[in-house]
Amino acid sequence: MKATMISRHDCSARDLDDPLAPLRQQFDLPQGVIYLDGNSLGARPKAALARAQHVIMAEWGTDLIRSWNTAGWFDLPKRLGDRLAPLLGAGTGEVVITDTTSVNLFKALAAALQMQASDPAQAARRIIVSERSNFPTDLYMAQGLAAWLDRGYQLRLVDSPDELAQAIDADCAVAMLTHVNYRTGYQHDMAAISSHCHAQGALALWDLAHSAGAVPLDLNGAGADLAVGCTYKYLNGGPGSPAFIWVPEKHQARFRQPLSGWWGHATPFAMEPGFAPADGIARALCGTQPILSLALVECGLDIFAQTSMEAIRRKSLALTDLFIALVEQRCASHPLGLVTPRGHARRGSQVSFTHPHGYAVMQALIARGVIGDYREPAIMRFGFTPLYTSFADVWDAVEILRDILDTLAYDIAAKRDAVT
C-alpha cells in the first residue's frame, strides 16, 4: 500500500475485516484514549476485576488458608506456566510463572554458568556476552552475579547485532540476549544465534519481555537453552504481575539455581533442614507466591486462547507497517527518525521514532489521549497490541502527532516524571 493512498476510511475498512477486532471488547479501555503502550503495561482484561474480587472475597475471605488446596493456589505457578507454554513454543512442565524478570534472570544465568562450570570441557569459560543496548536490569544482574561469584566472569558487550557472531567464541560461557530490543523493536534470529552458541560450546539465554504475546516463539524448535520474561506487557497480566522462567526438559536435571527456597524443594512440607531440589520445572521456584497478582495473569491468557500467535503476528505487522507509512506520509517535514527495522523478520510489535524533543512530544501526545512512552536517548516508543489496537487508532494517533508537530504544541521544558 502506497503511503499517499492511505485514508482514515481505508483504516476503518480494515477494522471491519479484522478477525481479531471482537477481542477488543474483552478489554476495559478508557474512552477518548488511544493506548499504544502495551509494550510497557498491557490494558486490563474486563474479567480481571471479577477474578480479583473472587480471590479476595471467596478464596481468601471465606476459604482462608484452605485455598492453598481447595482453590489450587499451590499449583498455580505450574498450571499457568502450562497455559503460557504454547505461546512460547515450550512443552508441558517447562514453564512456571513466578517472581520478577530480574530475579528469574538471576536464577537462569546462575544456572547456566553452573552448568558450564560443571562440564570439564566448558569449565574454563568466563565470558558472558550481551548487547550494550540490552535492557539495563539484564546487564545489572549479570554484573552483580559475576562480582558475587568472584571467579573471573566478565561481561562482554557488543554495540551491534552484527558483532555477536565474533563475540560468542570459545571463551563464551553464556550469551544473554533480549529477543526483541526494548528501545528499537529489533528482533534477533533466535534459532541462528542459538545454533551459533552451541557450535561454540556456549549456552543461549533469552529475555522474552518484549516477545511473549507479541511475536510467535518456538523456544524448543529454535534450540534455546533458557528463557525468562514478564506477563504485564503484551500478556496483559496487570502491573507488576509475576514473570516466567522456561527450563526445557533437556536441562531440568542439571538446572541448579542459588535461590533455593522452600517452594523449589522436593517435599516442601516435610520441613527438612537440608535442601533437595524438586524434580522438573518446580526447582525454578523460590518462595511463597503472590496469589492475587498471579491469579490475574490467567485473565489475559484466556483471551490468547481465543486466537493464535500467527493471527496476532499478521495484525501486528499490518499495524506497524501502517503506522510507519502514515508517519512518513503525514509528518514528513519534521525531524523524525525511524529506528525500528522495516523488515518484518527483524521487527517486534513496536515502532520507535527519534525526535530532538521526544520527551516533550510524547507528553503532548499523552495529554491529547495518545499514550505511548519515552526512552533515552530521544526515542518515542509506540507499542501495538493486536488484541485491542485498531487500524483507526493508528490513523487517529498519527493525525494527533501531525497536529502537535505542525503547531509546535509541546513544551521542551516539560518536567520529567519518575516513569517516562
The DSSP string of 130-174 is EETTS-HHHHHHHHHHHHHHTS--EEEEESSGGGHHHHSSTTEEE
Q: Is 135 a catalytic residue?
A: yes
Helix-helix angle 47-54:291-304, to 10 degrees: 150
Measured CA distances, 385 to 10, 88, 258, 304, 391 (Å): 20, 17, 36, 12, 11
Q: Is 107 a catalytic residue?
A: no
The catalytically annotated residue of 37, 99, 138, 207 is: 207
Tell me if 326 sits within 8 A of 395, measured CB to CB. Answer: yes
Q: Is 18 a catalytic residue?
A: no
The catalytically annotated residue of 233, 283, 347, 402 is: 233
The catalytically annotated residue of 106, 135, 391, 410 is: 135
Write out the three cell numbers for 340.
525500528
Measured CA distances, 136 to 140, 141, 222 (Å): 6, 9, 25
Give the C-alpha separation, 63 to 47, whole Å: 21
The catalytically annotated residue of 27, 35, 153, 232 is: 232
Q: Is 232 a catalytic residue?
A: yes
Give the C-alpha separation, 268 to 95, whole Å: 19
Q: Is 234 a catalytic residue?
A: no
The catalytically annotated residue of 14, 24, 347, 381 is: 381
CA angle 397, 401, 406 (to 5 degrees): 150
Residues tagged active-site: 135, 207, 232-233, 381
